[in-house]
Structure 1
Amino acid sequence: MSPIDVAKARRETPGCESVVHLNNAGASLMPDVVLQAVIEHLELEARIGGYEAAAREHDRVEAVYDSVARLLGSSRDEVAIIENATRAWDMAFYSVDFQPGDRILTCGAEYASNYIALLQVAKRTGAVVQVIPDDEHGQISVAALEVELARGARLVSLVHVPSQGGLIQPAAAVGRLCRAAGVPLLLDACQSVGQLPTNVGELQCDMLSATGRKFLRGPRGTGFLYVRRELIEQLEPPFLDLHAAEWTGRETYVMREDARRFENWETSYATKLGLGAAVDYALGWGLDPIADRVQGLAASLRTQLQSLPGVDVQDQGVEKCGIVTFTVEGVTAQAVVARLSAEGINVSLTPASYSRLDLGGRGLEAVVRSSVHYYNTDEEIQRLVDVVALR
């Protein structure tokens, strides 16, 4: 039996009463404790004022940094709370001083938002983007990466769990190679944080970006960035303000010494507190039990979908997570998503434009993306399978 008390998790998740939510890779259903944290602070702002509410809740806001640090196995001064995962990734990436000829190594599963940034920086600076080939399992080839690292690189960008499929990249192996080569690793953990343990020491990443809204079950508009302490002082963010730096003289400024140099002054205190509540809630269940249940549910869903005539599960990788992608012969992915939505089942559509190297390279125009979480049930999975079977 799973150590997760599923009935309790569902009682504490209001949305479970009204929808079959299998779109956790998009945005999970928030538990009550997260919802209340956001609402209570907004109500406080309405009663006494925004600045005053922030001052009153100062200690609780500061505790969010401690919670994220516990989640990642880092120090609190290595954590920045940022408005979303894309901006967190951007703040780290655009802080690197790329020069002409610098090599940026990435993977075939890179997400569109990240790859567009890679292309923009290459165009601006003369840096070169090189895609490391996949191995026979569809994940980044560690052997090929080792060869390219030996040739020199300025940065490695790796998506831990691709948005468009169920594979878990061998991030720890990549991290070991990067650390040995002295090349920083920027890890996009947007889809892994909250469903898998993500200890930055074990992963040996130098920077990690993540969101609150997906498997962490936090509010939208929240994210965070980890930067290894030894790297912080080497990075100057692409923009600074009076929070990230101090104006020390008419023509001088000094950046903060901690990771908050990647933040800016204005922030949503309500959603920041909601993020902290979501992190604490996940830690309360335990990341290992969460991962076990999520991967078990996803494996069951893959098996059942694969048994249906004309249905192809499109997930790759040796180790797989809670994201399950599939296509149905003769039916567009858009039509499948619409049919499931009409039956009160939330999934999402992933077009090839979100990951051209991966989906486009496999000749897939789009896939249906379903994604389970620990509060989902076998009955909900069966409902999805039954609707797909009616094609």
Structure 2
Amino acid sequence: MTRLDIQHLRERTPGCQSGIVHFNHAGASLPSQATLDAIIEQLQREARDGPMEAGEHGAVLVEKARRAAAQLLNAPAASIAFASSGSAAWNIAFQALGAWQPGDRILVGRHEWGGNLASMELAVQAGARVEVIPCDATGATCPQALASMIDAQVKLIDLTWLPANGGLINPAEAIGAIARRHAIPYFIDAGQAVGQLPVDVQALQCDVLKSAGRKHLRGPRGTALLYVRAEFLQHLNPAQRDVLSAPWSASGYDLRNDARRFETSEASYALLAGLGNALQEMNHLGVERVWGQVLRTSARVREALRQIPGVSLHDLGASHSGLIAFNLAGWDAFELKRRLGLKRINIGANGVAYTPLDMHARGLDSVARISVSPLNNDDDIERLMAALQELRD
């Protein structure tokens, strides 16, 4: 398999021409000029022809985006819905599960995204319990421990596949096999996975999977993907409905028979045109090639960090993604992020609220986070390490 032409990608990405080093792709990556053009062209079409009148062309672009998303996830196009954010996508699917009863159990990994846990409070108020699946010796969610927890009261298994606070890759396929064997609904938060590594929903055996468009897909903010397995749709009854998701028929208002039961008739065609272009670019590049480049770059970054005295890495798991959590002795993670920003170097910083169960378990108040992309080159790494060395001194 040929490697990606990094310089070619950078030349077609305005952010790479600005002089800023961007290592915050897990927060939001840099869109290509073609993605920006797709957004602007639809906005101009709406301004010229009328927003509603331009909707017909916009709807065509949305369906192209849906097919591109389906190709990326190895899913039918009818199983893909769009939302305004990853959190919104996850919430509408979770709320559609219906009423919770006292004694119902929700099993989650220790690395669960804080926003998902917050949404689960509605179930807890109804008497359900959120229970944490133990980790294995590497710190990853343990499938064997999960298997021992299964009983008739388990109503949902939810996994954050790649946590926001480090490079862990949880065993999503192994957990999916257990969920499917026991016919338990299985949700995956793939916000840090889609666009970074290959995602095959058939192999994962998940019922629901969500991801934001702004991260590794390099799409615009305000976009997200929601996959819902076709056979699972009948178990989801969304409270949010309109003329698109529940159109009128002779028998009344009928929910759509596809994932668009989670969409509404009002959406930004411009943003979805941009997301569609980003998805098409990812499919053209090949996510396997993207993942290979991410692994090579992140390995170089981790090795360079190990050479700086005072740096502590916070990786979990047997293999690692392109998210690199670390701390520099004597520095608060958020202040370190700010000071690097003054040097025109972007990184991320995560507090307890993002992954509260794991941060508490490891006694971490905050972590600085480097997240890499195929856009990053050796010069980016050198500038980052020189800046960290300077701040350490």
TM range (shorter): over 0.9
2:379 & 2:22 partners in 1: Cα distance?
A: 12
- State the partner residue of 1:361: 361
Q: Secondary structure at the match of 1:294?
A: helix
In structure 2, how many angstroms separate the alpha carbons of the residues matched to 1:59 and 1:239? 24
Alignment partners' CA distance in 2, 1:11 and 1:144 = 48
- Residue 302 of structure 1 corresponds to 302
Between the aligned partners of 2:167 and 2:181, the Cα distance in structure 1 is 28
Q: TM-score, normalised by structure 2?
A: 0.96
User: Residues 248-327 of structure 1: matches in 2 within 5 Å?
Assistant: 248=249, 252-327=252-327
What's the CA shift string for 1:163-208, capped at 9, x where partnerless? 1111111101111111111111100011100011111011111110
Q: Contact 1:140–1:170 (CA<8 Å) still a contact in 2?
A: yes
Offset of 1:247 from its aligned partner?
3.4
Question: Over residues 10-52 of structure 1, what are the superposed CA-to-partner deviations in whole Å (9 max), with x where a residue is unaligned?
Answer: 0111110111010000000001111100000001111111111
AA in 2 matched with 1:84: S
Shift in alpha-carbon separation, 1:2–1:311, aligned structure 2, 3 A: farther
The 5-angstrom pairing of residues 134-283 of structure 1 reads 134-150=135-151, 152-248=153-249, 252-283=252-283
- Equivalent residue, structure 1, for 2:29: 28
- Whether 2:115 is the aligned partner of 1:113: answer yes
Relative to structure 1, the CA distance from residue 369 to residue 48 in structure 2 (aligned partners, 3 Å threshold; closer, same or farther) is same
Q: CA RMSD in A?
A: 1.4
User: Which stretches in structure 2 are left out of the alignment for 5+ residues?
Assistant: none
- Per-residue CA deviations over 1:345-369 (Å, capped at 9, x if unaligned) read 0011101122111112211111101
**Corresponding residue of 1:99:** 101
3-state DSSP of counterpart to 2:295 = helix
- Is 1:83 matched with 2:89? no
List alignment gaps of at least 5 residues for structure 1.
Answer: none
The residue type equivalent to 2:314 in the other structure is: Q
Asked if structure 1 preserves the Cα contact closer than 8 Å seen for 2:30 and 2:218, the reply is yes
Q: Give the equivalent residue in structure 1 for 2:75.
A: 74
- Structure 2 residue aligned with 1:352: 352
2:8 aligned partner, one-letter code:
K
1:53-76 CA distances to partner (integer Å, 9 max, x unpaired)?
A: 111343232111111110110001
Distance 1:115 1:234 in 2: 21
**Aligned-partner Cα distance in 2 for 1:56–1:362:** 51
Aligned to 1:336: 336
CA contact (8 A) 1:2 1:293 kept: no
CA distance in 1 between counterparts of 2:68 and 2:121 reads 34
Give the superposition deviation at 1:248: 4.1
Q: Does 1:56 align with 2:57?
A: yes
Q: Give, in whole Å, the separation in 1 of the partners of 2:388 and 2:244.
A: 51
Report the Cα distance in structure 2 between the residues aligned to 1:329 and 1:59, rounded to whole angstroms: 52
- The whole-number CA distance in structure 2 between the counterparts of 1:307 and 1:194 is 30
Structure 1 residue 381: Cα displacement: 1.2
Output the CA distance in 1 between the equivalents of 2:105 and 2:360: 24
Specify the alignment match of 2:377 in structure 1. 377
> Is the 8 Å Cα contact of residues 21 and 345 (structure 1) preserved in structure 2?
yes
Counterpart Cα distance in 1 of 2:152 and 2:315: 32
Deviation at 1:100, TM superposition (A): 2.2
Equivalent residues of 1:149, 1:178 under 8 A apart = no
Residues of 1 paired with 2:232 and 2:388: CA distance?
A: 48
Identity of matched residues, %: 39
Look up the SS of the partner of 1:386 in the other structure: helix
Q: CA deviation at 1:252?
A: 4.0
Q: State the AA in 2 paired with 1:114.
A: N
Maintained 8 Å contact 2:61/2:272 = no
Which residue of structure 2 lines up, in the alignment, with residue 11 of structure 1? 11
